[in-house]
Structure 1
Amino acid sequence: MEVYSEKQQIRAAIDALKSKNLTLGLVPTMGALHDGHLQLVKKALANNDKVVVSVFVNPTQFDNNEDLVKYPRTLEKDIALLKTVSRNDILVYTPTIEDIYEGNTVSENFDFDGLEFEMEGKFRHGHFDGVGTIVKRFFEIVKPHQAYFGEKDFQQLAIIKKLVEKHDIPITIVGCKIHREANGLAMSSRNTRLKPEYKKAAPFIFKTLKTAKELFGTKSANKIIEWVEKQFANHDLLELEYIIIADTETLKPVKRKSNQKSYRAFIAVYADDIRLIDNIALN
C-alpha cells in the first residue's frame, strides 16, 4: 500500500494512473477509521480502478478547539484496516497542515444557498466553510472521478453536492447509507471516546428516531418533535441539543407535510462531552 504525505508525490502517482485511463475514487476521512469508513472504501473500489483515502484532521472545521485536540489520531491502525480491504488498489494521502494550507490555515467563505445556516450551521459557527475549504482542496489535488460520503453527515453531503454544482467541479458525489453498530448506534470515530455507561445508553438515539419515523405517518412534525424532546428530558445520561424534521432538498424545518417532498429527522445529542449526530429518512 502506497502512503503519501505530500501533494506533489500523490499528484505524480495519480497522473501515472490516469495515463493508463484508470478511474479514481476518493474517500476523504479524518482518520480513526471504523467499519463505516471501510464500507465507503469498498463501494468506491467497486466503482473505480483505484481509490485515494485521505486521512487529515482538518483544523478549520472545528469550532471547539478542545474537540480538535481530543480528536483520535490512529494512523498506523487506519493503514492496517485499509490493508484488510485492499493492499494494491488504495492510495493513502496523509498530508500535514502545511501541505494543505501552505502557512495560511483559514477557511474560504462559501455560499451554499442557505444550506450552511440550517441545523449544524446554527450550532457550529464556520464549520461548513471549513468543510468546503478542505473538500475543495482535496478535489483540486486528487481530481477523482467520484467521491464518496456517508449519509450520517447528511447536511455535509448536501453541501458538498452544492459545492460541486456551484463551482462546476467535474466530480460525481456518491452518498452512502449510514453504517451502524449492532445496537443501532451510527458508527463514528467519536464513539471510541464514549465512557462505558454512555456507550450503553447511546443506542437510545436511533431507537427514538425509529419511533419518530413510525409516528410520522399520523402525527404532525411539531408533535413528533415535542415527543422526542420529552423522551430525552426524561433520560438520565443523554442531553438533546436539537431534533429537527426537515425537507431533504432545502434542509429547512417542515411546517406542513407534503406528499411531493421527502423528509428526514435530524438529531444531535450529548453523551457526556461527546457530541453524536444521526438522522433517518421519514418517507
Structure 2
Amino acid sequence: MYLFKRAADLREALGQEKKAGRRIGFAPTMGALHQGHISLIQAAKAQSDIVVASIFVNPTQFNDPKDFEKYPSTIQQDILLLTAAGADYLFLPSVAEMYPEGVNGSHPHYDFGYIESVLEGASRPGHFQGVGIIVHKLLDAVEPDDLFMGQKDFQQCMIIKRLLEITGSKATLFICPTLREPDGLAMSSRNMRLTPEQRVTAVEISRTLQWVKDNLADRPFPELRAEGLARLEKAGFVPDYLQLASGSDLRLLEAPENGPMAILVAARLGDIRLIDNMTAGR
C-alpha cells in the first residue's frame, strides 16, 4: 500500500492508474478503523481496480471542539488494517494540507436543501457544510469512479449524493450495509470511548430501533416514538431524536408510507453521542 500526505502527489500517482485504464474506488474515513470500514474496502475491491482510502479527522464538521479533540486516533493500527484488507493507496493529509486557506477561512456554501435542516442537521448546525467542504476536497484529490460510504451515516449518505450532483462529480455512490457487533450495536469509532458499563447499555439503541421496526405495521408511529424514547431514557441515554423518515428524500413521517423508509435515532450516553438507523418498507 502506498501512503501519500500531499494531494498533488496522490493526484499524480492516480493519474497514472487512470491512464492505464484502471477504475478507482474511494473510501473516505476519519480513522479509528473497525470492520465496518474494512467492509467498505472490501466492497471497493469487488467493484474497482484500485482502492484508495483516506484518513482525516475533519475539524470543520465538529460542533463541539471537545468532541474533535477526543476523537480516537489509531493510525498505526489503521495502516495495518488497510494493508491487510488490500487497499492500494492511503491518503493521510494534515489539516494544513486540506485547509491551506485555514480552517476558519473562506469556504463554499452548499445548497443541500431540506436534508440539511432535520435530524443531524437540526442537532448539529453547520455539520453537513463541514462534511461537504472536506468531501469535496477529497473528491478533487482522488477523482474516484466509485465512492463507498456506510449506511450507518444514512443522512450523510444523502448529503453526499446531493454533493455529487452539486459538484458535477462523475463518481458513483455505493452505500454499504451497516456492520454490527454480535449483540447488535452498530460498529462505530465512537464505541472505543465507551466504558465497559456504557458498552453494555449501548446495545439498547439498536434494540429500540429493532423494536420500533417490528411494531411499525401494527401501532401508530407517534406512540412507538414516545415509548422508544422512554426505553432509551430508562436505559440511561439522553435521547436527541427517534424519527421515521422517507428513505428517498428524508421527509419526516408520522405514519408509514409506500416505498423505502428509515428509522433514525441519536442519543447521548454520558458525553458520547451515538447514532443508528434501520431501513424499513420497500
Letter in structure 2 aligned against 1:49: D
Structure 2 counterparts to residues 161-240 of structure 1, below 5 A: 161-235=161-235, 237-240=236-239
Could you say what the CA RMSD is over the residues aligned between the two structures, in angstroms?
A: 1.1
2:247 and 2:151 mapped to 1: Cα distance?
A: 12
Structure 2 equivalent of residue 245 of structure 1:
244
Structure 1 equivalent of residue 81 of structure 2:
81
Structure 2 equivalent of residue 269 of structure 1:
267
Instruction: Decide whether the 8 Å contact of 2:115 with 2:249 is kept in 1.
Output: yes
Give structure 1 stretches of 5+ with no counterpart: none
1:103 counterpart = 2:91? no
Instruction: Decide whether the 8 Å contact of 1:108 with 1:130 is kept in 2.
Output: no
Runs of 4+ displaced beyond 6 Å: none
Structure 2 counterparts to residues 98-177 of structure 1, below 5 A: 98-106=96-104, 107-177=107-177
Number of aligned positions between the proteins: 279
2:200 and 2:164 mapped to 1: Cα distance?
A: 39
Instruction: Decide whether the 8 Å contact of 2:71 with 2:190 is kept in 1.
Output: yes
Letter in structure 1 aligned against 2:49: D
Structure 2 counterparts to residues 38-53 of structure 1, below 5 A: 38-53=38-53
C-alpha offsets along residues 171-220 of structure 1, whole Å, 9 cap, x if unaligned? 10110000111111000001011011000111111111111001101112
1:64 and 1:234 mapped to 2: Cα distance?
A: 26
1:212 and 1:268 mapped to 2: Cα distance?
A: 14
TM-score normalised to the size of structure 2?
Answer: 0.96
2:90 and 2:52 mapped to 1: Cα distance?
A: 6
Greater CA drift, 245-254 or 270-279: 245-254
1:30 counterpart = 2:30? yes
1:115 and 1:123 mapped to 2: Cα distance?
A: 13
1:280 and 1:228 mapped to 2: Cα distance?
A: 14
2:256 and 2:209 mapped to 1: Cα distance?
A: 18
2:255 and 2:55 mapped to 1: Cα distance?
A: 42
> 1:142 deviation in Å?
0.5
2:100 and 2:230 mapped to 1: Cα distance?
A: 48
Instruction: Decide whether the 8 Å contact of 2:244 with 2:254 is kept in 1.
Output: no
1:272 and 1:122 mapped to 2: Cα distance?
A: 21
2:254 and 2:269 mapped to 1: Cα distance?
A: 29
Letter in structure 2 aligned against 1:46: A
1:141 and 1:69 mapped to 2: Cα distance?
A: 25
For the residue of structure 2 that corresponds to 1:105, the secondary structure is coil
> 1:234 deviation in Å?
2.1
Quote the sequence identity (%): 35
Change (3 A) 1:8 1:166: closer
Counterpart pick for 2:278 among 272, 277, 280: 280
Instruction: Decide whether the 8 Å contact of 2:208 with 2:232 is kept in 1.
Output: no
> 1:254 deviation in Å?
0.5
Greater CA drift, 149-158 or 267-276: 267-276
Instruction: Decide whether the 8 Å contact of 1:52 with 1:90 is kept in 2.
Output: yes
> 1:167 deviation in Å?
2.5
Give structure 2 stretches of 5+ with no counterpart: none
Structure 2 equivalent of residue 13 of structure 1:
13
C-alpha offsets along residues 50-86 of structure 1, whole Å, 9 cap, x if unaligned? 1110000000000000000010111111001112112
Letter in structure 1 aligned against 2:188: S
Letter in structure 2 aligned against 1:38: I
> 1:281 deviation in Å?
1.1
Structure 2 equivalent of residue 255 of structure 1:
254
TM-score normalised to the size of structure 1?
Answer: 0.96
Letter in structure 2 aligned against 1:83: T
Letter in structure 1 aligned against 2:31: G
